[in-house]
Amino acid sequence: AQRVTQPEKLLSVFKGAPVELKCNYSYSGSPELFWYVQYSRQRLQLLLRHISRESIKGFTADLNKGETSFHLKKPFAQEEDSAMYYCALRGGSQGNLIFGKGTKLSVKP
Amino acid sequence: EAQVTQNPRYLITVTGKKLTVTCSQNMNHEYMSWYRQDPGLGLRQIYYSMNVEVTDKGDVPEGYKVSRKEKRNFPLILESPSPNQTSLYFCASSYYGVTTEAFFGQGTRLTVV
């Protein structure tokens, strides 16, 4: 069965500090991994996806197949990064989208 | 404008009174899905659909029904709502395939009293 685990419900850091939001997955094949973000009172939106290997708003994520992880990192957090972050997985031939429980990031001034 | 539209945005209803939350997308997406968002539980999938007339259960389908008669619409039906279905509901759509981005509706906050 496919599963996404985000071990931290809440992560609180000060502005300018590094941030790492953890994500581990369980899937028998080769899934695609995503990070979605939900700012206060807004709909979820894609932040980045593994296949693009891009950096969005200073965030990066590396897929580690050995550790089955897809941690989200940013070297210097900003207050506007405060939001709910969801790691997600798409797998199978059709690509059903499954989410982790989310991590709330709070960046303090 | 490409978007996923849910209605209503807010709904308060009483136990047992049937209701439907609509979801419509204008991007010709094959895949559509419903999730509920609860504090501490994240986004849990209720039902999903890979195309017209093709639907399947997610992790928490009990108490819900869906239909996919047209590609653009994917309504969520609560035949007999109960208080434990009080939640924030999101609809999402995407093209078929594992690498594609999902687009979300703005959410429907449902309260069952």
For residue range B42-79, what is the model confidence (pLDDT) as tens digits?
A: 899 999 999 999 999 999 999 999 999 999 999 999 99
Query: Cβ distance A7 to A30 under 8 Å?
Result: no
First to last CA, chain B: 36
**In chain B, % of residues over pLDDT 90:** 88
Burial of A67 (0-12, 13-18, 19+ CB in 10 A): exposed
**In chain B, % of residues over pLDDT 70:** 100
A71 Cα to chain B: minimum distance (Å): 17
> What DSSP line would sit under B39-102, residue for residue?
TTTEEEEEEEEEETTEEEE-S--TT-EE--SSSSB--EEESS--GGG-EEEEEEEE-SSTTPPP
Burial of B87 (0-12, 13-18, 19+ CB in 10 A): buried
Model pLDDT, residue A65: 87
pLDDT exceeds 80 at position B11: yes
Interatomic CA distance for residues A41 and A51, integer angstroms = 28
Average pLDDT over residues B95-113: 91
Q: Which of B98, B99, B100, B109 would best serve as a mutation to test chain A binding (most A beta carbons within 10 A)? A: B98
Interatomic CA distance for residues A24 and B91, integer angstroms = 24
Query: Cβ distance B19 to B76 under 8 Å?
Result: no
Model pLDDT, residue A59: 94
Model pLDDT, residue A93: 65
Q: Which of B43, B45, B47 would best serve as a mutation to test chain A binding (most A beta carbons within 10 A)? A: B43
Interchain pair B35, A99: CB under 8 A? yes
Query: Is B39's Cβ below 8 Å from some Cβ in A?
Result: no
Query: What token pair was written down for A96?
Result: 């059903």
φ, ψ at B85 (rounded to 5°): -95, 5
CB-nearest to B92 from A32, A51, A97 is: A97
Residues lower than pLDDT 50 in chain A: none
Model pLDDT, residue B79: 95
- Of B18 and A54, the structure prediction assigns the larger pLDDT to B18
CB-nearest to A99 from B31, B42, B106 is: B42
Model pLDDT, residue B75: 98
Model pLDDT, residue A2: 81
Residue A12, Cα to own-chain centre: how many angstroms? 15
